[in-house]
Amino acid sequence: QVAEAVAQPLLGARRVTLVAGGSGPLGVSRLPGEILEVVCKLPTAVEALTGVSVTKVLPTPPKKEL
């Protein structure tokens, strides 16, 4: 759900310009990694801004059986 919320603004975009430096993938193949990076940084950012630990407030998702 968090990844969906982060990616949501891109749905209406007609054009996306990515600026990259260093090594790694370039172009549109970089986009999923960028979204994942934002999602991974969100809990720390929320806690720094609000003092609330997202991982402690949100319920643990149920484990899927294989």
Q: What are the structural domain ranges in the chain?
A: 30-58
52-64, pLDDT tens digit by residue? 888 888 777 777 7
11-25, pLDDT tens digit by residue? 888 887 777 776 777
Alpha-carbon Rg for the chain, nearest whole angstrom, is 15
Residue 43 near residue 51 (C-beta atoms within 8 A): no
For the entire predicted model, the pTM comes to 0.53
